[in-house]
A and B are shown apart, each in its own frame.
Chain A
Amino acid sequence: MVIAIGFEGSANKLGIGIIKDGVVLSNPRHTYITPPGQGFLPKDTARHHREHALSILKQALEEAKIKPEDIDVICYTKGPGMGAPLVSTALVARTVAQLWRKPIVAVNHCIGHIEMGRLITGAKNPVVLYVSGGNTQVIAYSQKCYRIFGETIDIAVGNCLDRFARVLKLSNDPSPGYNIEQLAKKGNKFLELPYAVKGMDVSFSGLLSFIEEKAPDLIAKGEYTPEDLCFSLQETVFAMLIEITERAMAHCGSEEVLIVGGVGCNKRLQEMMEIMAKERGATLFATDERFCIDNGAMIAQAGWEMFRTGVTTDLKDTTCTQRFRTDEVEVTWRK
């Protein structure tokens, strides 16, 4: 029996989760929400994490009904992410590791998403679409490595949605992407937008510039409503994502597909993926906002897998890095 606690703070969510051999005991989270039209800045986000770290930690322990001495391993997000928030969260992890005299494991954030998705859905060897505010990747496991088959060549899909939400001055509560999704449900007039798929890679920056420039005018003239534009944006970017995922599945001969990351809880994306998967005779695995969106348990789960195969991190190496690719990690826990 191994109990792992995970600290996640790579972006605007601070999450601390406790996992006992694949069972989530607790997973509280606090999100830093900025006013409409604004994104989150590193130093303010770090301040948010510092302010809430102790209360969330207390809540995690209480909900799990365990004492610090029951914990076997401390896991924290090493990267990728924003520097200041990463460092402020890692500091808490390092401190409790020394206070409680427990081993510590540095975890790659993306691997956390993948392992949590596999744990929750039971997917065996899926092609993974990892979509969030900072990442857009199509990943498949091969030879001790999560290989990136396709990715964005500029901005992430979540970033594209968030920035369009800022143009429309949508609320950031609970998240800009969620509010775009709600508006999109009411849209029906389709605006054709630039569609950029190159092999298994995608590009969103051209599309974003296009819609950012046109939107105010189209809305002012009454040609399109904000709902129509959200609808058109979602339909286009999601079609691009499904297309590259399908291509990767065809390439790998895979019959499972897993969606992870914050954008992964978008119901329309899941619906489109489901249609594609059905047509290919494949199965879709997806999770809800508890586990799609950044959380502590996913870091605990990936750390638990690493710890199980004998991986720990020396205290002097418990640093953070803003750039940490998914394919840099040796996957010791899978055949």
Chain B
Amino acid sequence: MKRVLLKQGAEAKLDKCSFYGKPCLVKERFKKKYRHEVLDRTLTTQRIKSEVRAMIRCRTNGISTPTIFMVDMESSSIYMEYVEPSVTVREFIANSQENHAGDAPLLALAEMIGRVIGVAHKNNIIHGDLTTSNMLLAPPNRSPEMPFGGNLLDEDPSSLELVLIDFGLTALEGTAEDKGVDLYVLERALLSTHPNTQHIFEAILAAYRSYNQQGAKEIVKKLDEVRLRGRKRTMVG
């Protein structure tokens, strides 16, 4: 199978291809011509390493991520599983809101999101770019040979697996401050992409607390601090 360009994101180019018969996503961090060469090389190397490390640490702690097949530092590319079939959480929420499906599926989804982030933070994994586009919903036992029958957008989310993707900005040691900012990024991404989802974020936080009991208190306090800083920062023209 040829390499087909799927998307040029802000960070990298995404190609789809086949890796020994398996559907494969190639994430290539192409050179950013706008930034200084030294800075570009440092950032690219750093991010590939931490991305792969974080994905491996997630998987050993029971959080789904795409399987890594290979890393090629020469071309700054990571070869990983292409999660198929799947929908993004962004699509799922938008669909659910459009069809007035009620809050039940969204609250179930919030519970899953809270669990995944709670477990990640408990293990010192800071995702760094938690948006609803960076979370996928996919059937747990997926295989390209057995196409999924129904429409994932209308499934009960708890019958699906939440797959975390795009670890490009991940950090692997974290203070409560970093974790608080991680949650703040998610809150802002959620509220700016999906109007009227404050209660969904609250549900995410509730689940988060129960899966990261030890750290949650301090982290949520930090979250409040960051929120406050965001709103109260002196903004001189």
Segment of B103-111, B129-137, B139-147 engaged in the interface with chain A: B129-137
Q: How far is the CA of A31 from the CA of B34 in the complex (A)?
A: 32
Segment of A68-76, A172-180, A190-198, A300-308 engaged in the interface with chain B: A190-198
Partner of A250, one of B9, B33, B226: B9
Determine if A323 and B232 form an interchain contact, defined as CB atoms under 8 angstroms apart.
yes
CB B185 to nearest CB in A, in angstroms, measures: 4
With A153-B226, A198-B185, A276-B34 known as contacts, the answer to whether A134 contacts B39 (CB < 8 A) is: no
Task: Produce 1/0 per residue, A175-210, CB < 8 A to B.
Answer: 000000000000000101001011111000000000
Partner of B237, one of A247, A250, A279, A294: A294
Determine if B9 and A235 form an interchain contact, defined as CB atoms under 8 angstroms apart.
no
Partner of B39, one of A10, A236, A251: A236
With A153-B226, A153-B230, A251-B131 known as contacts, the answer to whether A235 contacts B235 (CB < 8 A) is: no
Determine if B169 and A250 form an interchain contact, defined as CB atoms under 8 angstroms apart.
no
Q: Is B1 an interface residue (CB 8 A)?
A: no
Interface size counted on chain A using CB atoms at 8 A:
53
Determine if B185 and A81 form an interchain contact, defined as CB atoms under 8 angstroms apart.
no
CB A225 to nearest CB in B, in angstroms, measures: 17
Q: Is A324 an interface residue (CB 8 A)?
A: yes
Segment of A143-151, A211-219, A310-318 engaged in the interface with chain B: A143-151
Determine if B237 and A134 form an interchain contact, defined as CB atoms under 8 angstroms apart.
yes
Determine if B43 and A192 form an interchain contact, defined as CB atoms under 8 angstroms apart.
no
With A195-B43, A243-B10 known as contacts, the answer to whether A133 contacts B237 (CB < 8 A) is: yes
Partner of B128, one of A77, A147, A198, A243: A198
With A199-B131, A251-B133 known as contacts, the answer to whether A80 contacts B234 (CB < 8 A) is: yes
Determine if B235 and A325 form an interchain contact, defined as CB atoms under 8 angstroms apart.
yes
Determine if A199 and B169 form an interchain contact, defined as CB atoms under 8 angstroms apart.
yes
Determine if A198 and B181 form an interchain contact, defined as CB atoms under 8 angstroms apart.
yes
Task: Produce 1/0 per residue, B31-73, CB < 8 A to A.
Answer: 0111110110011000000000000000000000000000000
Q: How far is the CA of A132 from the CA of B234 in the complex (A)?
A: 12
CB B168 to nearest CB in A, in angstroms, measures: 10
Residues from 109 to 141 in B contacting A, C-beta threshold 8 Å: 128-131, 133
Determine if A246 and B10 form an interchain contact, defined as CB atoms under 8 angstroms apart.
yes
CB B133 to nearest CB in A, in angstroms, measures: 7
* B129, B185, B236 — most chain A CB neighbours (10 Å): B236
Partner of B195, one of A132, A143, A201: A143
Q: Is B100 an interface residue (CB 8 A)?
A: no
Q: How far is the CA of A77 from the CA of B235 in the complex (A)?
A: 13
Q: Is A109 an interface residue (CB 8 A)?
A: yes
Q: How far is the CA of A153 from the CA of B8 in the complex (A)?
A: 27
Q: Is B159 an interface residue (CB 8 A)?
A: no
Q: Is A105 an interface residue (CB 8 A)?
A: no
Determine if A200 and B234 form an interchain contact, defined as CB atoms under 8 angstroms apart.
no
Q: Is A275 an interface residue (CB 8 A)?
A: yes
Q: Which residues of A contact B9 (CB under 8 A)?
A: 250
Determine if A135 and B192 form an interchain contact, defined as CB atoms under 8 angstroms apart.
no
Chain B contacts to A: CB under 8 angstroms: 8-11, 32-36, 38-39, 42-43, 128-131, 133, 169, 181-182, 184-185, 188-189, 192-193, 195, 226, 229-237
Chain A contacts to B: CB under 8 angstroms: 8, 10-11, 77, 79-82, 109-110, 132-135, 142-143, 147-149, 151-154, 156, 190, 192, 195, 197-201, 235-236, 239, 242-243, 246-247, 249-251, 272-273, 275-276, 279-280, 294, 322-325
